[in-house]
Amino acid sequence: MTGYSDGGIFERARPRLIGLAYRMLGSMADAEDAVQDTFVKWQSMDKVGISNPDAFLTTICTNRCLDVLKAAHRKRVDYVGPWIPEPLQIETETDPESDLERAQSLTTAFLLLLERLTPKERAAFLLRDVFGKSYAEVAETLGLSETACRQLVSRAGKFVQSQSSRSIPTAEQQDVFLKAFMSAIETGSTDQLAGLLAESVQLRADTGGKATAITRVLEGTEVVNFIAKVLSRLWAAGSILELKINGVRGLAVLEDGRIVTAMTLGFKEDGTVDQIYIIRNPEKLERLAMPTRHDARSGALWQ
């Protein structure tokens, strides 16, 4: 087969591979490395016998991500404080309503939910449920039988549905919450905010040991008190910018023009907030100021 040497087929596939790898790994840097490794292997292959380049590239990339996940598990043991996926400022190329499966699969809450699946459950679920691959394609990618892949997807799907972590609130619900949150930050009054938080609300901060922040997960009334008494003081020195982070409107705190804190949210189906994620690890904030484009039809990501 001809026409492979110029890398055109790979470059057309790259954004979709990035979209898959980021969802699997929760890190754009790791996703880019996995996709670059895929490119290196692609360049070294004899492509004459490759009848389906897209499936071939997906297989290489997926299995590279599985290797990275094994190493990541060991690194997480030594990670200082809670771990939260790298936040991205998402710009959707198409109407997200046209493909909610892929749009919702970028939320921080959903990416954290994937962390609770086994690596192969995660891969099978994403390939089948988010990227629309057939069970035969999933089986070929993972080197398993179709029956085994159906079982992986079924287990993962039941768990995901039981957690309700895919919900993207309406624009009005997001607006109401952010206004109440900012009011609490500016005035110290949580009268409006408290009614918008679920009783089970949690707040966690990711620093990786590279910035100051609370290292334990706060719950319930602790969250309200922390926002009013601590965040209102800590955020007072910076300017606050609203950004669309992983498909949900959030906030970024800037000091000297540099993002030093990002906040994104997890919503329940009733519109209340049950998760507040604060990212302070500077390595995870490096690219947040640069929009990442998302094609909801294909799941592709690129900057």
Show the domains of the chain with their CATH numbers. 8-164 (1.20.140.160), 171-285 (3.10.450.50)
Residue type for 136, please?
A
Closest CA to 283 of 80, 38, 90, 64: 80
Residue-wise pLDDT tens digits, 132-151? 999 999 999 999 999 999 99
Determine the Cα–Cα distance for residues 169 and 160; give it in Å rounded to an integer. Answer: 17
Greater pLDDT, 203 or 95: 203
pLDDT of residue 1: 47
Residue-wise pLDDT tens digits, 249-277? 999 999 999 999 999 999 998 899 999 99
Lowest mean pLDDT among 24-28, 31-35, 104-108: 104-108
pLDDT more than 90, % of the chain: 77
Determine the Cα–Cα distance for residues 227 and 194; give it in Å rounded to an integer. Answer: 10
Determine the Cα–Cα distance for residues 134 and 55; give it in Å rounded to an integer. Answer: 11
| pLDDT at residue 192 is higher than 70 | yes
Lowest mean pLDDT among 5-19, 68-82, 137-151, 186-200: 68-82
Average pLDDT over residues 78-96: 85
> Would you say 38 and 56 are in contact if contact means Cβ atoms under 8 Å apart?
no
Q: How confident is the model at residue 95 (pLDDT cuts 50, 70, 90)?
A: low
pLDDT of residue 5: 53
Query: pTM for the full model?
Result: 0.94
Q: Is 164 helix (H, G, I), strand (E, B) or coil?
A: coil
Residue-wise pLDDT tens digits, 201-217? 999 999 999 999 998 99
Determine the Cα–Cα distance for residues 123 and 250; give it in Å rounded to an integer. Answer: 28
Residue 120 tokens read as 């192969």
Closest CA to 106 of 24, 196, 29, 200: 24
Residue 39 tokens read as 């490119």
Task: State the sign of the Cα–Cα–Cα–Cα dihedral 51, 53, 57, 58.
Answer: negative
| pLDDT at residue 84 is higher than 90 | yes
pLDDT of residue 96: 52
| pLDDT at residue 101 is higher than 80 | no
pLDDT more than 70, % of the chain: 94
> Would you say 188 and 236 are in contact if contact means Cβ atoms under 8 Å apart?
no
Average pLDDT over residues 25-35: 96
For residue 114, the Cα-to-chain-centroid distance in whole angstroms is 9
Q: In the block, which residue shows the tokens 């030093």?
A: 260
CA atoms within 13 A on the CB side of 25: 28
Determine the Cα–Cα distance for residues 269 and 42; give it in Å rounded to an integer. Answer: 43
The whole-chain average pLDDT of the chain stands at: 91
Those residues whose C-beta lies under 8 Å from the C-beta of residue 212, and which sit 6 or more positions away, are 280
CA–CA–CA angle 34, 30, 292 (5° rounding): 100
Closest CA to 4 of 40, 47, 39: 47
| Count of Cβ atoms closer than 10 Å to residue 147 Cβ | 10
Average pLDDT over residues 40-57: 90
Residue-wise pLDDT tens digits, 116-137? 999 999 999 999 999 999 999 9
